[in-house]
């Protein structure tokens, strides 16, 4: 227990459940999270199996099989590939965002709390990385180390952690000036405990909003890398690579491109709505 009670800015769950914006966003995201979790049971066909090429949505193949969203050039069921692609996106986007936040949080807390030369060195490193275009950094990392899920995590962490660092650093400097932090220092609490117990919980609101937005950006990034042929290696179902595979036939068979684009848009829009809803709740709570 500290001498002065800390002010908590965490999200109140009952209030969040009453927010239409958060609920709509959660539904959009939840559709694909559900698909990712239960892909083996809800996907109608094997996403890698060639069945009947270039079938239109709601059509039946020669064997009588129904293809709700049609098939691609190689005869693979698009709905099944979208469902399994959701598993890849949710896994790697979530892991990449979490890793980037772990690095950015650690750097930002240390720089904002200790200041001085530590802050200058970490800020210089972050500014150097941020001076490069993000997409160039992604491509540079993937081309150097090869296309794989782990290298996507590495690329996103390398490119995103500096931006997270700057946000956490600013929040830490502001919160560290509060009386309850000074009281904790006087009580002799360790810097690690102060950062973890006094500072981090009070920075949770803005960081949750930023995490939702960055998760959406990472979803788009995985799609862009897949479109450029730098994403998950084939034959792994990947929404971005599905768009790239369907691009040559997009005029005659637009469903091959439209449905993966809708999936990416749904995920990104849902996360943006959740972030906006949380931000609105935070503003209301701050005015209360």
Token duo for residue 196: 């973890």
User: Which runs of E-coded beta strand occur in the chain?
Assistant: 59-60, 66-67
Which candidate, 72, 67, 52, 76, places its Cα nearest to that of 246?
72
pLDDT on residue 115 = 87
Residue 252 — very low, low, confident or very high, per pLDDT cuts 50/70/90?
A: confident
The answer to whether 246 touches 57, Cβ cutoff 8 Å, is no
Fold assignment, 17-46+66-287: MetI-like fold (1.10.3720)
With cut-offs at 50, 70 and 90, classify the pLDDT of residue 4. Answer: very low
* Inter-CA distances, 276 with 6, 9, 20, 186, 205, Å: 25, 16, 11, 38, 12
**Window from 2-6, 56-60, 152-156 with minimum mean pLDDT:** 2-6
**Roughly what angle, to the nearest 10 degrees, separates helices 134-145 and 149-176?**
140
Domain definitions of the chain by residue range: 17-46+66-287
Q: Is it the case that residue 168 has pLDDT exceeding 90?
A: yes
Is the pLDDT at 5 greater than 80? The verdict is no
Q: Average pLDDT, stretch 162-166?
A: 93
Q: Is the pLDDT of residue 286 over 60?
A: no
Please provide the average confidence, as pLDDT, over all residues in the chain.
86
Nearest to 80, CA basis, from 254, 263, 228, 222: 263
Distance of alpha carbon 59 from the chain centroid: 34
Output the pLDDT for position 19: 76
What CA–CA distance (Å, rounded) separates 154 from 228?
A: 18
* pLDDT tens-digit series, residues 178-234: 888 888 888 888 888 888 888 888 888 889 889 999 999 999 988 888 888 887 887
Q: State mean pLDDT over 103-126.
A: 92
Confidence of residue 267 (pLDDT cuts 50, 70, 90): very high
Q: Is the pLDDT of residue 287 over 60?
A: no
- 29 by DSSP, 3-state: which? helix
Residues in the chain: 288
pLDDT for res 61: 83
- What is the pLDDT at residue 3? 37
When pLDDT is averaged across residues 102-118 and rounded to a whole number, the result is 92
Average pLDDT over residues 84-106: 93
Structure confidence at residue 132 (pLDDT): 84
DSSP track, 226-287: HHTT-SSPTTS--HHHHHHHHGGGTTT-THHHHHHHHHHHHHHHHHHHHHHHHHHHHHHHHH
pLDDT digits (tens, 9 = 90+) for 11-48: 555 555 667 888 999 999 999 999 999 999 999 999 99
Residue 243 and residue 73 in contact, taking contact as beta carbons nearer than 8 Å: no
**Torsion sign (Cα): 93, 99, 100, 105:** positive
Whether 126 has a pLDDT exceeding 80, the answer reads yes
* Percent of all residues in the chain with a pLDDT value above 90, rounded to a whole number: 40
């Amino acid at each position: 227990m500290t001498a002065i009670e800390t002010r908590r800015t965490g999200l109140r769950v009952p209030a969040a459940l009453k927010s239409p914006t958060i609920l709509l966003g959660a539904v959009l995201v939840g559709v694909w999270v559900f698909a990712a979790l239960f892909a083996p049971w809800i996907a109608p066909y094997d996403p890698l199996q060639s069945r009947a090429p270039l079938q239109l949505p709601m059509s039946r193949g020669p064997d009588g099989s129904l293809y709700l969203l049609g098939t691609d050039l190689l005869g693979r069921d698009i709905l099944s590939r979208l469902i399994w692609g959701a598993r890849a996106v949710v896994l790697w986007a979530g892991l990449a965002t979490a890793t980037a936040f772990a690095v950015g949080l650690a750097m930002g807390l240390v720089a904002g709390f200790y200041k001085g030369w530590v802050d200058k060195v970490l800020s210089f490193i972050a500014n150097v990385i941020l001076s490069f275009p993000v997409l160039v950094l992604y491509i540079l990392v993937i081309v150097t180390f090869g296309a794989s899920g782990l290298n996507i995590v590495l690329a996103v962490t390398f490119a995103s952690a500096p931006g997270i660092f700057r946000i956490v650093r600013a929040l830490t400097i502001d919160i560290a000036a509060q009386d309850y932090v000074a009281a904790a220092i006087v009580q002799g609490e360790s810097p690690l405990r102060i950062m973890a117990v006094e500072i981090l919980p009070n920075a949770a609101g803005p960081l949750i909003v930023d995490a939702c937005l960055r998760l959406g950006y990472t979803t788009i990034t995985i799609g862009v890398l897949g479109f450029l042929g730098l994403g998950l290696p084939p034959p792994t179902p990947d929404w971005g690579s599905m768009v790239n595979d369907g691009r040559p036939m997009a005029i005659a068979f637009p469903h091959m491109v439209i449905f993966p684009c809708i999936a990416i848009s749904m995920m990104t829009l849902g996360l943006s709505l959740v972030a906006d809803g949380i931000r609105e709740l935070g503003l209301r709570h701050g005015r209360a």
